[in-house]
Amino acid sequence: MAEAPPRSEPPARSISSVVAGALRDAQERRLLERVRSAPVPRHLAIIMDGNRRFAAGHGMLISEGHVRGKDKLEQLLDWCLEAGVRILTVYALSTENLERPPEELDALMDLFAGAFRDVVTDPRVHKHHIRVRAIGNLTLLRPDVQEAIRLAEEATKDYTEYQYNVAIAYGGREEILLAIRAIAQDVAKGTVRPEEIDARMVSARLYTADLPDPDLVFRTSGEERISNFLLWQTAYAELYFADVLWPGLAKVDFLKAIQAFQNRGRRYGI
């Protein structure tokens, strides 16, 4: 009888990757338990930055970087549900981004149209009663994207458990200017006196009029600026910046941001 060949051991790299994965999973579980034992941000706003740099660093086309970014956003929604974050607002496309090359914009518009259409049949959305909306100057978007947004908003308009807002073709200064113009028109008509204008009146005319202001603004990519995102609404928000590029965001990175928020003593003013 022929002697059985000696059993080969798994490559060291495979063993190390399994160990690393197990350690990462254990760290995520511990962090999630800690995060869920304390109040989490009611409203989390995220600047999803780094798709193009991620693509360049991994030898991908820019469009593939944006696809990876969309996939990461799908994961993020699950993480927010797990952690108990009730309101999520993500910065998907700024008004400045509309100046990017046509081929990149077309690929982005295709992603947006598909993502909003998917909302209509996404079981998570209906199971958890997530209201989905887009905020921004939507008239600047392709007609098929506008229609997909309309369908998503119509399908979820009655949900109140969670809210998921996508800032698209959005600019914070433009949003404030629109609010000022609306108030100026009311003053001109005589329905508002100048001395009646206050912060609440401005807030009531913003895209986010029915939302509480963000508690935490989280930006990826290592950049440390707001980039014209929710300028009025983030006056007293906590800020957290991570070096990781958006498509490379791990669950542990997300949980560390929430934990950092929980460890801060929030104050209004200086």
The CATH number of the domain holding residue 67 is: 3.40.1180.10
Residue 29 in any domain: the answer is no
Residue 20 confidence (pLDDT): 64
The residues near 219 (Cβ < 8 Å, ≥ 6 apart) are 46, 47, 49, 225, 226, 239, 240, 241, 242
Q: What is the pLDDT along the chain (270 residues), one digit of tens a residue?
A: 445 555 555 555 677 677 666 777 888 999 999 999 999 999 999 999 999 999 999 999 999 999 999 999 999 999 999 999 999 999 999 999 999 999 999 999 999 999 999 999 999 999 999 999 999 999 999 999 999 999 999 999 999 999 999 999 999 999 999 999 999 999 999 999 999 999 999 999 999 999 999 999 999 999 999 999 999 999 999 999 999 999 999 999 999 999 999 999 877 766
pLDDT at 1: 44
Q: Is residue 18 part of a domain?
A: no
DSSP helix/strand/coil, 220: coil
Give the residues across from 270 on adjacent strands. none
How many independent structural domains does the chain possess?
Answer: 1
Residue 132 located in a structural domain: yes
- Which residue among the candidates 97, 137, 144, 228 is catalytic per the annotation? 97
Q: Say which residue the tokens 């969309």 belong to.
A: 70
- Domain-located, residue 51: yes
Nearest Cα residue to 167 out of 128, 215, 207, 214: 207
Residue in 49, 122, 165, 215 annotated catalytic: 49
Q: What's the pTM?
A: 0.90
> What pLDDT sits at residue 137?
97
Closest CA to 235 of 259, 203, 198: 203
Active-site residue, 78 included: no
Parent domain of 186: 42-262
Per DSSP, the three-state class of 162 is strand
| Dihedral pair phi/psi, residue 213, rounded to 5° | -65, 150
> Does any domain span residue 25?
no
In a domain, 267, yes or no: no
Q: Is there a catalytic annotation at residue 228?
A: no
Residue 58 counted as domain residue: yes
In the chain the beta strands, taken as DSSP E runs, fall at 43-47, 87-94, 130-135, 162-170, 216-219, 238-241
